Amino acid sequence: MNPELEARVKQARDIAVDEFHMDPGDVRFIMAPANIIYATAAHGLPGLWSHWSEGREYWLNKGSHDAGQSRIYEMVVHTKPFLALLHDANPDILNVMVAAHVYGHTHLMGSSVYSKGVSPHILDTVAAWKKRIEGYEEEHGDLVVEAFIDKVLSLEPFADAKFTGKVFKEEIKPLPAFPDLLPAPPVEKPEKVFQPTGDLFGFLAKYAEDLEGWQRDILEIYRQRTIYFQPQYKTKIIHEGFASISHRRIMEKVSTTDAEWLEYSKINSGVMSPGGGGVNPYWLGHALLEAYEKEHGWDALLEMVAVEDDCSLIRNHLTEKLVEKLDLFSFRFHDVFDEDEDKRKKWIVDEEPKEWEIIRDALVRKFDNMRSPVIEIVDFDADGKRALHLVHRYDGRRLFIPHADKALAAIADIWGQRVLLDTTVQKGDVRATAWAPSERDGVAVTSGNPTDWQYQ
């Protein structure tokens, strides 16, 4: 970082601290070329082991950048001190804006209740993970380890930091209201009841019978990696919204020339566009937080963002007035018979009546559970055959069947036995059966697919 840029980044920090009462913490900025930034973004963390999926993400990021479709301006890692990568080809004014944006992120990383459990020493942990996985590749072969990791990736994002490995709880029967007036009941052993869990990583690592030690370790590594990223998934909108409103407020006070302000305004307008084909978290988050700031003030905003996640932010602060102002709408696939030929089997926009609560609730569902379905293990000895029984807690969002097919087959490979999944599709309730590896070449598979879907 050249001295002039360093001085302006410091000015941005002073404004954040002195005028906006932010606490960005200790941030170390590193100037990096585009390929380093995209490689880090593909891995999610610097220093991770090599896997083809990261290479795919790298080339997707690079291709999108080269085509002018999108651009990654910064990469922030929650360490101690915070680590932030800046693109070395950016003009200085853009990197000042990015640094101001980073200060918004690092303030939240230090103040949000959802970041409290994040280890500030994650890079040391990553180095240990990498050493172990590379050791397994040397011992068992890189293709064998990569093939197992391919299956493990099907379990994302189903991990739960609260899962302890215990799957049974004792069901204690309530005592009579007046125990002294009744004869003592016979002493019964409390019944053990299976506790449903959504932690597929942890459950399979502990209870899959045929796994080797290195496979259980890889499951636990990916479980811990998934748990590390969960606070980021839960607070994507509030993080990008707060970082955006922070950089906007700071840049209004940073010294700039007219040409620099024009350059900044062009970039900022692109970042803050509503987005095409989806909801831009920068735009939506900024709109929600700006409305809250106007009504309650900046200091109240700092208190609010420290305790909210994306779902609570939308549920509590997306109002009818904002829905109208942002021109939000809902749409659906019209899959029932209708005399209007223009509506049959097509995606249609629900225009009248435009009930804002429906739009709000649709957004909450979209970002609930980190945008993923809720799937729980409810039994691991279904029909007395060691079948793993999963249930999709249907909330109006159907599973994408091609992805579910592949994921269930991968889970069956890890579990070593059949896997059953109950879910809901367009025509009703179904049960998917992913055959055990030993069954796939036998008469049980009649469709030629590793997963069989039957209506209930």
Question: Per-residue pLDDT for 276 more than 80?
Answer: no
* pLDDT for res 188: 63
Q: What is the pTM of this model?
A: 0.84
Residue 4 tokens read as 């002039």
Answer yes or no: are the C-beta atoms of 31 and 108 closer than 8 Å: no
Q: How confident is the model at residue 146 (pLDDT cuts 50, 70, 90)?
A: very high
* pLDDT for res 443: 46
* pLDDT for res 157: 84
Query: How many alpha carbons fall within 13 Å on the CB side of residue 410?
Result: 19
Q: How confident is the model at residue 366 (pLDDT cuts 50, 70, 90)?
A: confident
- DSSP-based helix, strand, coil % in the chain, nearest 5: 50, 15, 35
Q: How far is CA 89 from CA 36, 38, 79, 435, in A?
A: 12, 14, 25, 52
* pLDDT for res 101: 95
CA angle 85, 304, 280 (to 5 degrees): 50
Residue 76 tokens read as 């922030």
* pLDDT for res 135: 94
Answer yes or no: are the C-beta atoms of 399 and 361 closer than 8 Å: no
195: exposed, middle or buried (Cβ count in 10 Å: 0-12, 13-18, 19+): middle
Lowest mean pLDDT, pick from 27-31, 70-74, 292-296: 70-74
